[in-house]
Amino acid sequence: MTAANARNMTEEPGILRLSHVNVRVPDLELALAYYTEVVGLVETTRTPNRTYLKGWDEHQHHSLILSQEATYGLNALGFKVMSEAELDRLAARLAEAGIETSRHHPGELYQGSGLIVRFRAPSGHVVDLEWGMAQVGNGLPLINPPPAPDGLKGMHPPRLDHVFLLCEDVDGITDFFQDVLEFRLTEKIVADDGHLLTSFLERTHTAHDIAFLTGPDGGFHHVAYWTDEWSDLRHAADTCAYHGVPIDAGPTRHGATRGCGLYFFDPAGNRNELYTGGYWFDPDDEPTVWTEAEMGRAIFSYTGQVNQRFMTVHS
């Protein structure tokens, strides 16, 4: 057991969960229509070149930032930190690991943003550690609320769940997230030569908040939003079919994480997932190991095979 895992058995400082992703879209109006009408996210703020959205049950200002740019892909991902003191502590850990950081005041990088420590991870991804994002509420009263607000559209997921990324050195980035950022390894797919093909890491006691697959540095596979039930995936697939949204895979079940998901694409080509299921992971649990021969079943439990389009990625 690593020192970070032993420490987290008695307290939960540092990173609380995945906070936000910033993705590129060439046509901001088309992307906004898709994410509000089809996915059913809630728009909170709009600027000339950016739109900010969130799941309906998220209290913070945003979990998705759409940035109008010529290409599609991932600009940055962010994690919510429990306090300013913890943000300072993690910044010091990054400095000790030789990672250069920049510090940004509230509102400096994004509308509604809090205090952010930004760095580029060894995987090539830009990562924000954030404390104090503006809170806008979930549309429900705090006294005697109904189960959900009226007027929800499309798939209407309540919250952001995880992000799936690619890099050349999965072993190295897995060690970095464990040893520096204090994540816990829940599952891994191991190649025949002993190196990691895929790793799943968490801070929320779920099966994963972030995962890495072998591929190009800075690669982006998908961002996933949580839904409460398997039947919601059927509704999401119906929604995709109605609106002519290409379905990449599913509804299906994963061997790794034991979750269920539906994969589809936004108009720019960014892959989305609607995800549910999984399991609770305690800090002293041992990670589940998948062999290279069973990688297909780890990804898609029912078929045991991964289609070629699903392995297509972008940076």
Task: Say which of 222, 225, 275, 314 is annotated catalytic.
Answer: 222
- Establish whether 222 is a catalytic residue: yes
Long-range contacts of 115-118 (CB under 8 A, 24+ apart): 115/84, 115/87, 116/78, 117/87, 117/90, 117/91, 118/76
Q: Choosing from 130, 273, 275, 314, which is the catalytic residue?
A: 273
Whether the CB-CB separation of 165 and 120 falls below 8 Å is answered with: no
Cβ atoms of 133 and 113 within 8 Å: the answer is yes
> b or e along 20-51 (b: 16 or more beta carbons within 10 Å of the residue's beta carbon)?
bbbbbbeebeebbebbbebbbbbebbeeeebb
Where residue 79 falls (left for φ over 0; alpha for ψ -120 to 50; beta otherwise) is beta
Q: Catalytic annotation on 273?
A: yes
Look up 254 and say whether it is catalytic: yes
Phi, psi of 147 (to 5 degrees): -65, -30
Catalytic option among 20, 61, 125, 208: 208
Q: Confirm whether 208 is a catalytic residue.
A: yes
| Candidate list 35, 263, 275, 314, residue with the active-site label | 263
Which residues are identified as catalytic?
Answer: 162, 208, 222, 254, 263, 273
